[in-house]
Every structure is written in structure tokens, then in C-alpha cells.
Amino acid sequence: MTDTRDGKKGVGTSAIQKRSVRIAGHPTSISLEDAFWEALRELASDRQIKLSELVEQIDAERSSQNLSSAIRVYVLSSYRDQTTT
């Protein structure tokens, strides 16, 4: 979440951050909102793997969608699965 004009955190106003991640030894730029980067780091930590390893897994399993979209869907599905178990 980012700050709004009144200094409060706004819902759904997370800034997009572009970061470089190595996938199969190649640097790849990924643009995601801060909230998704944070969630992705948490999920990788929970699984005791590196962030880049989790991104590689998501990349290998995605269909025709772009990588950023595949990551967002993965994060959403992971958190949905946690709430239903």
C-alpha cells in the first residue's frame, strides 16, 4: 500500500516495482506491485526456498499468460488455499 494525501495507507494503491530475477541462469525483469513481492517472499520463505526458485516453478507451470500475471494468480491461489484449509 502507498501513502495517500492524508498520510493514511490506501487499499489497492501498491506501487509497481520492477525487479530482476534469475530464471534458469538468465536475468528476467518482473513488474509487480509491492504487495505481491511481499507475498511472494513470504511464500518462498514458508516453503524454505529462494524467491528465484519459486519464480522458476511458477514460470515452468504457467500456460500462455505472462510471468507477472502468472505470479499474481499463483499468490492469490496460494492465499485462497490457506483460507479454505
Mean pLDDT score of the chain = 85
pLDDT at 32: 96
Count CA atoms closer than 13 A to 52's CA, side-chain side.
11
pLDDT at 65: 86
Q: What angle do CA 14, 30, 70 make, to 5 degrees?
A: 85
For 14-47, the pLDDT digits (tens) are: 789 999 999 888 999 999 999 999 999 999 999 9
pLDDT at 10: 55
pLDDT at 13: 61
